[in-house]
Amino acid sequence: MSFKGHSCALVLIHVTAPDLVLPPCDFTVFGGTGDLALRKLLPGLYEQERRRQLPAGTRIVGVSRSELDDTGYRDLVTQALFDHVAEDHLEAGALHRLTSRLRHLTLDAHSPEDWDRLHGILKSDLVITTGTDTPAPDDRNRVFYLAVASDLFGPICDRLDDLGLVTPQCRVVLEKPIGSDLTSSRRVNDAVGRVFEERQIFRIDHYLGKESVQNLLVTRFANVFLEPIWNSRWVDHVQITVAETLGVGDRGDYYDRAGALRDMVQNHLLQLLCLVAMEPPTHVGGAAEASEDAVRDEKLKVLRALAPLTGREVDRNTVRGQYTSYGAELGHPSTTETFVALRAEVQNWRWAGVPFYLRTGKRMARQESTIEVVFKEPPHAMFPHSDGVTTPNRLTIRMQPDEGMQLHLTAKHPGPGGIRLHPASLDLTYEDAFEERSPEPYERLLMDVMRGIPTLFMRRDEVEAAWGWVEPILAQWQDTALEPVRYHPGTHGPAAAARLLARDRRFWQENADA
């Protein structure tokens, strides 16, 4: 079977039983023809459909300004699935079931008639997937996914409320960024909060849906040997790196307004820091509201314990970089950073004195998302006259590529004679260990939204605490008006980032792996 130049064999597989039973849901995506919807959201919903986790009666409504009817939208989504779903996951039955759920509404936000049409769709008796006249009552589960600019969140929520579409069973999903600073974030949260209760608001960070990130919680709290050494007595420092080989691409307009600190550090990297540094929650998972907030409560404590970076501390502990071809890609000069490295500290009993080095950038040497927990040297050298070298033990958690983890040790090199020390590692690759691919983050997170489980989503106080920590850095950069230091594409960033660690007699771990 081919579709617009793509050749693909559709695998006919029948899944006999659902993994999870869910009530029918109306899933409405504002920005339904946008890049996020076509690359991530709809492929994620397709994977749920393939596993038969979307029950009969569930409808998916794409809302956008595109002039498409239902047939045109189904064709557009089908093409996106061929482009973004693994070939061996494309199944004729699942594809048909998903596209039969799809509707599209062309909506001009200023047109009352268009909003009335949305009301008609969501209040209608038609259930596309079954063709029956099953009613859609007011207590029907509805999810509104706002894959649009954050300044539209409030107006959209107000219109949904005016139409009587907001009920206690509804949920709204907010994509990042939620504002551009603390003030605008509060304004957005206030606007959404006037319509939806906090328990109904799901602020999504797709990094929290990665299997390796969730496995970090399991690694920490389900393996007793780690907890006694997960503290300042034994951990020397922590490195968190999220590097991309690509440039800004078609996100240039947005990215030039945001920059790497807003786009990556304020959300993704600080969330990863929280998961590394948090205390054991009282309970992870479960249906009780208190247990669902346990993880988020502990993450908030970490954010509030971060040592503030202000004034000269910003100059000393942060690096702003920009790859040399950035202005040419944009078509105009810019002082926006495409790279950030910074040194943070968590001022609490467990982590006092342990630096956390965060780094993110575009056009880097390799695509990677990793957490490196580097342990201290042994307190006494047992083999002072041995050959070879020792390196600090470290735990590497790989989020991409090749999700998994490595525990780096020092071992004796085999052979007679004296002791020769050699670095070695224990390697766990999830795909090899479990003989199945890790699901994409949005697959897990969309399911959690429909189930109403908020654990992996950010609470309002988390978002605002993160903005509160980042904002003084932005202010200092603006006040000093220094341009970012340049770095060449295909490198590990500017030399100043290496000096940030060298000052502490440390180095980024790619040097250890070289």
- Nearest residue to 202 via CA among 162, 256, 250, 142: 142
With beta carbons less than 8 A apart as the criterion, state whether 140 and 24 touch: yes
Q: Residue 206, annotated ligand binder?
A: yes
Is 385 a residue of the active site? no
- Residue 463, token pair as written in the block: 């978002």
Rounded-to-integer distance, Cα 321 and Cα 493, Å: 7
Q: DSSP E strands: which ranges in 278-367?
A: 318-323, 339-345, 355-361
With beta carbons less than 8 A apart as the criterion, state whether 369 and 345 touch: no
DSSP codes joined into one string, 113-134: HHHHHHHHHHH-S--TTT-S--
Q: Residue 176, annotated ligand binder?
A: yes
Rounded-to-integer distance, Cα 467 and Cα 262, Å: 9
Q: Residue 492, annotated ligand binder?
A: no
- Residue 232, token pair as written in the block: 């300042």
Q: Residue 210, annotated ligand binder?
A: yes
* The one catalytic residue among 6, 14, 89, 268: 268
- Exposed e or buried b per residue across 464-476, where buried means at least 16 C-beta atoms within 10 angstroms of its C-beta: bbbbbbbbebbeb
With beta carbons less than 8 A apart as the criterion, state whether 463 and 306 touch: no
Q: Which helix (H) or strand (E) holds 145?
A: strand 141-146
With beta carbons less than 8 A apart as the criterion, state whether 146 and 173 touch: yes
- Nearest residue to 202 via CA among 446, 444, 468, 22: 446
Rounded-to-integer distance, Cα 122 and Cα 142, Å: 9
Q: How many Cβ atoms are within 10 Å of 133's Cβ, its own excluded? A: 9
Kindly list the catalytic residues: 268
Feature table: binding site for NADP(+): 65, 176
Annotation: binding site = 65, 176, 206, 210, 244, 263, 362
Binding region for substrate: 206, 210, 244, 263, 362
